[in-house]
Amino acid sequence: MGLVMTVNVGASARAEAQDVEAGRAIATQGVLAGHAACAACHLESGAGQAEAAIPRIGGVAASYIKQQLTFFASGQRPSAWMTQYAKQLSPKQIDDVAAYYAAQAPAVEAPRIATSAEQIAHGNDLYKKGNMSAHVMPCAGCHGPAGQGLGAMFPAIAGQSPSYVVQQLSGWKAGKDRDPMGKMMMSEVHGLTDEEIQALAAYIYTLPQSPGAAK
């Protein structure tokens, strides 16, 4: 029995490694000649480009990456760029590239942005306590106290690009549901002011990126 379990675990580990390596090839080389690969924007490490509002996906749960690529491919999450790219991927390729980016270690040091201690402190308060008078629940309740997330439902957001966070929160506040999960976020952020959105984005960016995001 022990031998069978050992063999099964070993086979599973090898299969996972193969998925990650296949995903690396997709991320760095793409799947169609003449078309950009994931790394062209999100970088090979998955660190993204904070200044350009290109989100970090390295270390994010594979289940969330897979879900979002599927939404892009089906048109459930409209995007002029991501939809055409995701449509090139087969379900297996989506699994592989999601496994690859989920396995990437967080960046050691993220690019610096201009902010203030007061803004970060305000964001910290909103993130952990919310604003009950405006019916804004604490972000930590779903995304975790350290921004580590929980699988496909609640993605890891620690260290995420501030401009990307502002873009997404502002869109939900304006009534853009983005994808099938968006209606939940629309109800959560409708009471936030623009200043509070900026403060949350600044604080989230300071959270250490966790290599153990839930899968």
**Domain boundary at 102, 127, 149, which?**
102
Give residue 202's Cα distance to chain centre.
16
How high is the pLDDT of residue 8?
Answer: 47
How high is the pLDDT of residue 9?
Answer: 46
**Domain boundary at 48, 71, 102, which?**
102
Give DSSP secondary structure letters for 32-59. STTS--THHHH-TTS--BGGGTBPP-TT
**Domain annotation covers residue 182:** yes
Does residue 213 or residue 151 have the better pLDDT?
Answer: 151
CATH code (residue 165): 1.10.760.10
C-alpha to C-alpha distance for 132 and 143, rounded to whole angstroms:
18
Residue 35 in this model has a pLDDT that exceeds 90: no
Does 190 belong to an annotated binding site? no
Q: Are 122 and 62 in contact (CB under 8 A)?
A: no
**DSSP 8-state class, residue 145:** T
Does 135 belong to an annotated binding site? no
Residue 126 in this model has a pLDDT that exceeds 80: yes
181 and 158: one domain? Answer: yes
Q: Which of 51-55, 72-76, 130-134 has the lowest mean pLDDT?
A: 51-55
Does 38 belong to an annotated binding site? yes
Does 184 belong to an annotated binding site? no
Residue 4 in this model has a pLDDT that exceeds 80: no
Does residue 141 or residue 34 have the better pLDDT?
Answer: 141
Q: Provide the domain limits for residue 130.
A: 117-206
140 and 195: one domain? Answer: yes
7 and 34: one domain? Answer: yes
Q: For tokens 């599927």, name the residue.
A: 70
Residue 183 in this model has a pLDDT that exceeds 50: yes
Query: Is the pTM of the predicted complex or chain greater than 0.85?
Result: no
171: closest CA among 156, 157, 180, 182? 182
Residue 133 in this model has a pLDDT that exceeds 80: yes
C-alpha distance across the termini of the chain, in Å: 28
Contacts of 109 (CB under 8 A, 6+ apart): none
Looking at every residue in the chain, the average pLDDT score rounds to: 87
Residue 67 in this model has a pLDDT that exceeds 80: yes
C-alpha to C-alpha distance for 93 and 98, rounded to whole angstroms:
8
Residue 15 in this model has a pLDDT that exceeds 70: no
**Domain annotation covers residue 212:** no
Q: For tokens 């490694």, name the residue.
A: 17
Residue 112 in this model has a pLDDT that exceeds 80: no
66 and 129: one domain? Answer: no
Phi, psi of 60 (to 5 degrees): -80, 145
Does 5 belong to an annotated binding site? no
Does 82 belong to an annotated binding site? yes
